[in-house]
Amino acid sequence: MKESGLGWTAMSVDTQSDGTLRDIRNDCTNFEMSTPRAVQDVTGVDKYAMERLLLLADMSLTLNGVFNDDSNKSHDVFKTVPSTSTPREVTITVSGQTLGTTPAVELLFTDYQLTRAADGGLTWQAPGVLANGVLPTWTAA
């Protein structure tokens, strides 16, 4: 059935300090996720159209949100991104479909960008890429 993007039941990222998943849905305003597959061109000179093989899977995620420095909220989760190289477990659930529980999907967050807009708004952006080689697979929750 077709559905809207409302009602996310999980948007959790673990903290670098103790590895506990933290629910940051309330701080996230929007996000973009991609799960592309690499392809190899194997077209022989005898073909008149492309011939390809699917290769490795990947995942990238960019979370955007409103600054919140309460304990276990978004700033607490991402503040160590510039100073550590630790993969973070990520779990996303919507409409009974979950990405990243068993086995866990781990991302390397590559930046924690803060923006103070002209109107005074303080927002953040945190891009991440697949770290642990686990296929980013959706499963029924």
Residue 7 above 90 pLDDT? no
Residue 101 above 80 pLDDT? no
Q: What percent of the chain has pLDDT over 90?
A: 78
**pLDDT class of 108 with cuts at 50, 70, 90:** very high
d(CA 124, CA 65): 5
Tens digits of residue pLDDT in 118-135: 999 999 999 999 999 989
Note the helical H segments in 72-139: 74-78
| Average predicted confidence (pLDDT) for the chain | 94
CA 137, 95, 66: angle at the middle one, nearest 5?
A: 90
Q: What is the pLDDT of residue 100?
A: 79
d(CA 60, CA 96): 21
Q: List, in order of start, the domains of the chain with CATH numbers.
A: 8-33+59-140 (2.40.10)
- When pLDDT is averaged across residues 44-72 and rounded to a whole number, the result is 97
Query: Does the CA dihedral 77-82-87-92 come out positive or negative?
Result: positive
